[in-house]
Amino acid sequence: MSDLELVQACIGKKRSAERLFFERFAGFTRALCRRYAKDSMEAEDMHQIGFIKCFQNLNGFSNKGPLGGWVRRIFVHSCLDEIKKRRRISHWISPIEGELIEEKGTENQFILEADAGELILLISLLPEGSRSVFNLHAVEGMNHAEVGEILGISESTSRVQLSRARAFLKNHLSEKRKLISTILQ
C-alpha cells in the first residue's frame, strides 16, 4: 500500500489501515521518543501522544515527500511540545556560564564509537535543555539557528548546550572505557 493510499484508508477510519500505519512507524518513533524523554514511561506517553497527533492531522499530509518524514516531523514537534508542557522552557535551559567548550575531533569520535543502546541511555541522562538541543542538532540535523528558533533560545545558547551534551557523553563514555581497560588488564 502506498503512502497516499494508507493515509486515505486511515482517514476513512479503516482499522486495518490504522494498524498498518502504527506498525509501519512504531519502531523508529518509539526510538525517537526515547531520545527526547527522561525515562521509558515519559517516552511511552510521548509515543502515544505523537500517534494521536498523526491520526488527527492526516489531512495535512500533502504527499510531497515520504510519509515517514512527515511522521518524524510530527513526532519531533510533539515531543518538544510535551517537554514544554511539563517543564517551563526557562527552567530547563540552563543559563550560559563560562566559555563555550571547543569541539575536538576526539570528542565526536567517542560518540561515534558508542553502542546505540548505551547512547540512548546516556542521552536520557542529559539535562532536558542539552538533551533537546543534542537531539535536534546531532540527530535531526538542524543547524543552531533552527534549534534556537524551535526552542526559543539564542544560537549561542544552542551551541553551549550542544557542547555540554557532547562533553557529558564523552566523559561518561571515556570513564566506561577506562573501567573496561582496567578490568581487562
pLDDT digit string (tens) for 34-73? Answer: 989 888 899 999 999 999 999 999 999 988 899 999 999 9
pLDDT digit string (tens) for 109-123? Answer: 444 455 666 777 788
The CATH code of domain 91-184 reads 1.10.10.10
Residues contacting 37, CB < 8 A, separation 6+ = 43, 45, 46, 79, 124
Residue pair 123/185 in contact by the 8 Å Cβ criterion: no
Residue type, 49: I
**Reported confidence tier of residue 182, pLDDT bands at 50, 70, 90:** confident
Say if residue 80's pLDDT is above 50.
Answer: yes
The CATH code of domain 3-86 reads 1.10.1740.10
Cell of 145: 539557528
pTM for the model stands at 0.62
Residue pair 103/166 in contact by the 8 Å Cβ criterion: yes
For the chain, domain boundaries: 3-86, 91-184
56/44 Cα distance (integer angstroms) = 18
